[in-house]
Chains A and B, each alone.
Chain A
């Protein structure tokens, strides 16, 4: 059995730990914010990440969205951004928000992808207003079985 993989320096490892901690801090910060932003006219949808043996499946619930407008982009190696236009007028009052006024035009959320994925091979579909993105996982190294 032979194992080959890229050697990582101690600085790579420290960098990864810092990235990890930053994402935890970001998650903590985000969780204290409302799921809507009147300044950017956006609503943060519910989303979910499932990591399986060979792919990462990201889903997002996008009611009232226009399926043609859905955009999925990898911002950096660990963050996926989902955006979609809302096809009907939704104002604060529609969501039971009385103390502020404004309208929402877009769904927007950022999802952390904790393992390397191949964006070129991503597959997307929208069904029942739910976006599903399938991202094949990149293989880091191979273990040969003799």
Chain B
């Protein structure tokens, strides 16, 4: 299962949205929670929940089209991971961004990974993904990893170097390339480059709201030096 929740650069949301569109996935489930803002997303005139799960026979994709309020992120992510456990999902792969200050100078963003179990770390090493051995993660992806580890759910977070507060379709493409290496599910990412400017323009309002919530979550702590004595 691929998860794309709003985070830095909207990397996960853009990746999920692209996969859903390219593979023409069907809606299978949605998250109903009072912790989410009172909004619906209109699709072809019909109301849809802002957090939904789509899929086919071998892939599930979670997408959230609104910023997740900081005040409810822990309860939402805990319930989400419990649901994932109940459904016996084979591997959970949250995709996100890792903010870098010199993003403008980077032509091809690198992708880093973390795993919920030792087997997942071994898998990352086998696929030659740079493992984030130390440091902090903050936000929805961080909680998914923590709750997955607690429940022994195999999970891998793929984090692409990205802008902090600007939508980053190139980072989403880099993360999906690594996703393909790990899962064998290949998705053509050329549209993320061709339509990059259009995506950035259309995603800017969700990015702005996401940034506000990330500030409340102290997202900037990801820049902190890890404490080891």
Contact = CB atoms under 8 A, between A and B. Distances in A.
Contact of B165 (A48, A64, A95, A96): A48
A107 to B, nearest CB: 10
Nearest to A127: B104
B133 interface: no
A59 B103 CA distance: 12
Contacts of A127: 104-105
Interface stretch (B112-120, B142-150, B195-203): B195-203
A90 interface: yes
A115 interface: no
Contact of B201 (A48, A59, A90, A128): A90
Interface string B158-196: 000001111100000000000000000000000000001
B208 A35 contact: yes
A87 B197 CA distance: 12
A98 to B, nearest CB: 9
B207 interface: yes
Nearest to A129: B197
A102 to B, nearest CB: 15
Contacts of A130: 104, 163, 166
Contact of B204 (A46, A96, A132): A46
A103 interface: no
Given A46-B208, A130-B166, A63 B104 contact: no
B104 A46 contact: no
Given A130-B104, A132-B104, A63 B197 contact: yes
Given A35-B208, A132-B104, A46 B202 contact: no
Interface in B85-124: 104-105
Interface string B71-86: 0000000000000000
A35 B105 CA distance: 28
Nearest to B197: A63
B200 A129 contact: yes
A95 B208 contact: no
B202 A45 contact: no
A128 B207 CA distance: 18
B166 A46 contact: yes
A94 B202 CA distance: 9
Interface of B: 104-105, 163-167, 196-198, 200-202, 204-205, 207-208
Given A35-B205, A46-B204, A129-B197, 13 more contacts: A35-B208, A46-B165, A46-B208, A61-B167, A61-B200, A61-B204, A63-B198, A63-B201, A64-B197, A94-B198, A96-B202, A128-B104, A129-B200
- A-B complex: 4 closest residue pairs judged by Cβ atoms: A63-B197, A63-B200, A61-B166, A127-B104
